[in-house]
Amino acid sequence: MFSKLRRLEIGDWRFWLRLLATAVFLLPLIWLLTAALHPVGQPLPTSLTISFDWTLANFSRVWELVPIGRFTLNSLLVVILAVPLTLVTSSWAGFGMAQLPKASQRRWIVLSLAVLMVPGVALWATRFLLYSRLGWYDSILALIAPAFMGSSPFFVLMFYRAFRRIPLAIFEAGRLEGAGVLASWWQIGLPLARPTAVGVAILSFVLYWGDFVSPLLYLRSESRYTLPIALQLLQQLTPSDWRLLMAGAVLATIIPVGLFLLLQPYFARLGR
């Protein structure tokens, strides 16, 4: 009886600790939403206070000042194209690395880590010249071009680690049944690496959804701008109106947060 009560107390302690950690991470989102709903003409609170004097006027002003709908569609188009491409190319690279001899695997791991350490600012000028020569400047191809190479060496290493943990006997059995390289990747490797694929999909979604530098450097036409550029335009139009900027940030955050909530049942199944 005492042991059962003891386990219950430990379980309650962990529950309240998780609840406290969740509340800490949710505080910025709560403040963002309350600031976006703050009435026009009233100063923003300097402390964490709860007020129910809310208005939706800030959101309507955002739609009046910038074409937020078109920018949202542009961002959605970028992630719809870039995320699947990232999954395919990074998983191909990781799968190929996992099938190499150990000595070759070590060399490719070192090379991937070396590339990962290169700062992004060092690639801006080179990418600009390359996109200009290829005719990709001021097009969506300039935004999704990194996805053709896995977007990041980190994603490749994630898939490499996932495929490396699968016993080679499974792939050898598939080859005996007539499965080629692509069949082994699609029918054997990728289903077993599904948690890694979900993690890479989420990370690449966040990477492309919040990308501010690439549209700023490689796009010229306003009709192709994405949501991060819309937030910058709002800040330039009304630099002192933080309610307006917070309303735009809420509109830019709705889709990632909604996607995360929709994937919660899947995350719960993975944790079992």
Element (H, E) at 156: helix 153-164
Q: Considering only CA atoms, give the Rg of the chain.
A: 23
Q: In this predicted structure, what is the pLDDT of residue 5?
A: 44
Q: In this predicted structure, what is the pLDDT of residue 265?
A: 74
Least Cα distance to 170 among 156, 157, 187 occurs for: 187
CB atoms within 10 A of CB 122: 8
Element (H, E) at 272: none
- Running DSSP on this structure, what letter comes out for residue 39? P
Distant-in-sequence contacts of 114-117, Cβ < 8 A, 24+ apart:
115/153, 116/152, 116/153, 116/154, 116/157
Q: At 257, list the tokens.
A: 């947060």
Count, residues in the chain = 272
Q: Which residue has the tokens 């009709």?
A: 223
Q: Work out the angle at residue 80's Cα, subtended by the Cα atoms of residues 76 and 81, and round it to the nearest 5 degrees.
A: 120
Q: In this predicted structure, what is the pLDDT of residue 256?
A: 86
Q: In this predicted structure, what is the pLDDT of residue 49?
A: 60
CB atoms within 10 A of CB 136: 17
Helices (H) and strands (E) in the chain, counts: 15, 0
Q: Average pLDDT by consecutive 10-residue portion of the chain (272 residues)?
A: 49 77 81 78 62 75 86 94 96 92 91 89 90 92 93 94 89 84 88 90 93 92 90 80 83 85 72 58
Q: What is the set of domains in the chain, with CATH numbers?
A: 2-55 (no CATH), 67-270 (1.10.3720.10)
Q: Please state the pTM of the whole predicted model.
A: 0.84
Q: In this predicted structure, what is the pLDDT of residue 247?
A: 85
